[in-house]
Structure 1
Amino acid sequence: MIDTSKFPNPIYKETVLAPLFEGVKNHYASHMSKINKAHLVMLVETRILSNDQGKIIADALSKIDKDTDILSLTYTGEHEDYFFFVEARLRDLLGDLGGALHTARSRNDMDHTLFKIALRTRAETMLVQVLQLTDALIEKASKEHKTPIVAYTHGQPAQPSTFGHYLGAMIEVLIRDATRLETAINDLSHCPMGAAAITTSGFPIDRERMADLLGFDGPLVNSYGCIASVDYITGLYSAIKLVFIHLGRVIQDLAFWSAFEVSQLYVPNELVQISSIMPQKRNPVPIEHMRHLASVTVGRCDTIVNTMHNTPYTDMNDSEGEVQQAGYATFESGSRVLELLTAFLPACSINADAVQRNTDAACITITELADTLVRDENLTFRQAHEIAAATAKSVIAQNKPLREGYDAFIKAFEAEEGRKTHISDDTFRNIVSVENFIAKRDRTGGPAPIALNTALKSYTNQTSQLHMKQIQRHTKRSDAQARLDVAFSSLMEH
């Protein structure tokens, strides 16, 4: 028989309390030490505790930090959690005074402050990786701004573009994703400390000072919301989810482009695995790993967000330790995708022969022929479209590239218009060339070199601003840590 007369029940201990204790050891212990120090500084500065009491408690906290090998601790059930473990050590050292540190606070406001500190560190690291990928793609796009590719729609060859233009589309989404992630990080920038259990405190606490010492922009104002609102969790994981949904679509294109039948993307040998039985096969399996890791990351985000669904709007374990710890796997798998993609895409190149082959086979420059007929032959677009369609149908049936389709074009033009065209064979060849097609698309956002390079400069400016804001946030938190260190040290000097 299991003795259930004494807390904790052994099954509860093993299934809940021990795993939570391990999570605190690995993720939160250092943050709890920081909160303890800041709270003590605030209690002394507001004269809730005296200078002498502050010095005694500060010395004890320093001793506990120095003497405790956190990672070697094993959960015994003697104390409910790590918070009570630290408080017990304080009381062992100081007697009743050891309990004074908890004046005007609760595990409720402490927990959400711990979670925000832990999340903002991980989120900032992920933002760095998103921006590093963006920077790498801007550099790659600049190098590939004239490299032709076949652009596909509905899985079929559509029109010529450039590799740089394709990457530009990817870059724009990444910048928007980075901006959404930055917004979610900013939503982590207000401090719950001082909310206590739910309604603040009857003591004259200084919430602004606590927020400042912990590197927040200020207190999160409504004390009920400090411990009940979980939008800082759902907002962050939703922003992360979008990054990997969007990258997953690009990764799928990489798989398609590198398929033998398409062969538009060449993956270098360092990123290719060979079949164990078929020596002729080049398997670009990093693409598959990125695709499934991106999907795993999306699923992990959904796990966290969906756990919040239909939960009560109050303090609850559904949004706390167990869930928070589960969410950190998101950053692990997401980080691997970002790191691998940052190495993978710049290493790849476009197979010019395959692009030319598919261009010729699919008549993908035919749109420019129709456009030219509108401009130079004074036709309506529908008339021009009929001529272009007949020309394309003829050359495809003859298995010829469009540039060799002048005779088919003449016949189609005369059949539609009842007159001869002013376009010569040489002019026709130039009109339907990939180079001409791309050069004509020189409007804002187009693949022509000037338009694309203008866009790339804009992307560089936008990412530079995101980098600068991140540096400013890092500097602000480093300065806050320095202020906390000075303030806490001064307590021990009294």
Structure 2
Amino acid sequence: MADMNPRLSDTSRFPDPVYKETVLRPLFDGAKGHHVEAFRQIDRAHLVMLVETGILDTGTAAKIAQALVEIDRDIDPSMLVYTGEVEDYFFLIEKELKARIGVDIAGRLHTARSRNDIDHTLFKLGLKQRIDALMVKARTLLAAMIDTAERNKTTLIVAYTHGQPAQPTTFGHYLSAAIEVLIRDIERFAEARRIVDLSSMGAAAITTSGFPIDRARVAQLLGFARAQRNSYSCIAAVDYTTSTYSAIELMFLHLGRLIQDFQFWTSFEVGQIYVPNALVQISSIMPQKRNPVPIEHLRHLASQTFGRARTMLDIMHNTPFTDMNDSEGESQGAGYEAFASASRVLDLLASLIGQISIDPERVDENIRRSCITITELADSLVRLEGLSFREAHEIAAATARSVVASKGDLPNHGFQPFFEAFRHSTNRDPQLDEPTFRKLVSPEHFVAVRKRFGGPAPEPMDEAISAYRQTLEAFERAASESAAREAQASTELNEKFTALTGAR
């Protein structure tokens, strides 16, 4: 005998208790924690639009508006406990509306919209807020880096390649390299925010609506730059999420490299960065140890941020091009953790960079021991002695080998080996005397002659610092303009909605 049709014999009731605890309760708790204000804004903007387009009459809208005000007054979302009586936070608000003004009137608020377009719009509102807060901190870090670079534009350091001392430069020049990367990272965030700043409202489930809705008006009232054009894209294209977390991923990958250098430079053997006592912890058993552990915290927090951002991209990988739960509540909530750790990194790094200094004695020692000014000797032999660069390079290399073997230093012990290597290679005496040799192999001279665009000499550094400050000012202006537009939208929405509450 065939089994009975399961549809006819199914007596179960929604929600299944395990589904309730593993899915619905976490989603409800996430919504009440992250998205309450966005729900409120969307309800109010949609209601104003329904009245302005004539889809709802003023009297009906007034009853809905007043009920929404009462719900805000009577319900503290933080105190809500999920019971399973409704599916999610959206249906809780609809249930409360029905209790206050009846099923017929309450249901009219949902005309020409869906949870699909609501969800993506409220996620975008949440991301915009978090991006803006994070970019305030990123600009603070950028300002701290520019200020520190300007203070240290003549402060000598050892620059490393492949983990070995390579050439002298300045701390300002080094930081300028990181500044330019951070500027590009902020620009990537600006582009991501431009994608986020497109309203999905009015797409409804997929294809918009037969009602004469005004999507641009809702976008305006919610503070978006404009409505996203294609309605399918509104509920399927999650590039607003992937672009945001890609920007986070890259920023903290790049900052992690800077942090790793700081860790190396504060080691006892290198010691060219000095971290002040306020940012140093002492060993619990070894009193001689100064541990600059904030740098370690920066490193692991940057890595956590990178990993959390990458998780968001992994979640979106190989998902269908449609509305789906993968991109919604729980995923968005998980992504917010990347913003939380990112904020900590930016605050701490800005503070650290503003306080660290270069130890000139350790830098001088490391420069002298490593012969890293020898490149300029080769360059000078080309200019002053008329040699080819390859021949000059061989003379300089022989000089460096001799100095290193004798455990001497280039300015004090390099002239005699240089003189001998020069005679051996050219069969003549050099025109350079010892005082000139000393000057040519000094780190100060090395930096001063590198006046080309982007170099460490004072002239290009002054031009670079000025350009960085102009870029920072442009970032600040753009942020202020965006904030002003959104504040104006918020004011208008509040005025329009308040007017409805008094209409009859």
| Counterpart Cα distance in 2 of 1:79 and 1:351 | 64
Unaligned runs of 5+ in 2: 1-9
What residue number does 2:287 align with?
279
1:345 aligns with 2:353: yes
**Aligned counterparts, 1:31-50, within 5 A:** 31-50=38-57
Q: How far is 1:274 from its partner?
A: 1.0
1:101 aligns with 2:104: no
Q: 1:66 aligns with which of 63, 68, 73?
A: 73
Aligned with 1:158: secondary structure?
A: strand
| Counterpart Cα distance in 2 of 1:193 and 1:118 | 15
| TM, length-normalised to structure 1 | 0.99
Q: How far is 1:401 from its partner?
A: 1.0
Q: Deviations 1:417-473 (Å, cap 9, x if unpaired)? A: 000111011100000011100000111100001111110100110111011101111
Q: Deviations 1:271-317 (Å, cap 9, x if unpaired)? A: 11111111111111111110001011010011111101111111110
| Counterpart Cα distance in 1 of 2:230 and 2:135 | 28
**Aligned counterparts, 1:93-492, within 5 A:** 93-95=100-102, 96-404=104-412, 405-492=414-501
Give the counterpart letter for 1:29 in structure 2.
Answer: V
| Counterpart Cα distance in 1 of 2:11 and 2:405 | 83
Q: Deviations 1:237-257 (Å, cap 9, x if unpaired)? A: 001110000000000000100
| Counterpart Cα distance in 1 of 2:22 and 2:176 | 49
Aligned with 1:157: secondary structure?
A: strand
Q: Which runs of 4+ in 1 moved over 4 A?
A: none
| Counterpart Cα distance in 2 of 1:183 and 1:310 | 24
Give the counterpart letter for 1:43 in structure 2.
Answer: L
Give the counterpart letter for 2:281 in structure 1.
Answer: Q
More deviation in 483-492 or 222-231?
483-492
| Counterpart Cα distance in 2 of 1:164 and 1:19 | 49
| Counterpart Cα distance in 1 of 2:488 and 2:82 | 35
Give the counterpart letter for 2:106 in structure 1.
Answer: G
| Counterpart Cα distance in 2 of 1:184 and 1:125 | 14
| Counterpart Cα distance in 2 of 1:304 and 1:14 | 23
What residue number does 1:23 align with?
30
Give the counterpart letter for 2:258 in structure 1.
Answer: V
Give the counterpart letter for 1:146 in structure 2.
Answer: T
1:51 aligns with 2:58: yes
What residue number does 1:12 align with?
19
Aligned with 2:196: secondary structure?
A: coil
Q: Deviations 1:315-336 (Å, cap 9, x if unpaired)? A: 1100000100010000011111
Q: How far is 1:4 from its partner?
A: 7.8
Give the counterpart letter for 1:61 in structure 2.
Answer: L
Give the counterpart letter for 1:490 in structure 2.
Answer: A
Give the counterpart letter for 1:248 in structure 2.
Answer: G
| TM, length-normalised to structure 2 | 0.97
| Counterpart Cα distance in 1 of 2:164 and 2:196 | 44
| Counterpart Cα distance in 2 of 1:313 and 1:171 | 38
Q: How far is 1:6 from its partner?
A: 1.3
| Counterpart Cα distance in 2 of 1:126 and 1:29 | 21
Q: Deviations 1:223-243 (Å, cap 9, x if unpaired)? A: 111000000000110011100
Aligned with 1:58: secondary structure?
A: helix
| Counterpart Cα distance in 1 of 2:158 and 2:134 | 32
1:89 aligns with 2:96: yes
| Counterpart Cα distance in 2 of 1:131 and 1:342 | 10
| Counterpart Cα distance in 2 of 1:437 and 1:417 | 25
Q: How far is 1:493 from its partner?
A: 2.6
| Counterpart Cα distance in 2 of 1:482 and 1:169 | 42
1:78 aligns with 2:81: no
| Counterpart Cα distance in 2 of 1:283 and 1:289 | 12
Aligned with 1:187: secondary structure?
A: helix
| Counterpart Cα distance in 2 of 1:109 and 1:12 | 24
Give the counterpart letter for 2:415 in structure 1.
Answer: Y
| Counterpart Cα distance in 2 of 1:256 and 1:17 | 48
Aligned with 1:388: secondary structure?
A: helix
- Identity, in percent, stands at 55
| Counterpart Cα distance in 2 of 1:164 and 1:492 | 59
Q: Deviations 1:35-73 (Å, cap 9, x if unpaired)? A: 000000000111111011111111111111111111100
Give the counterpart letter for 2:69 in structure 1.
Answer: S
Unaligned runs of 5+ in 1: none
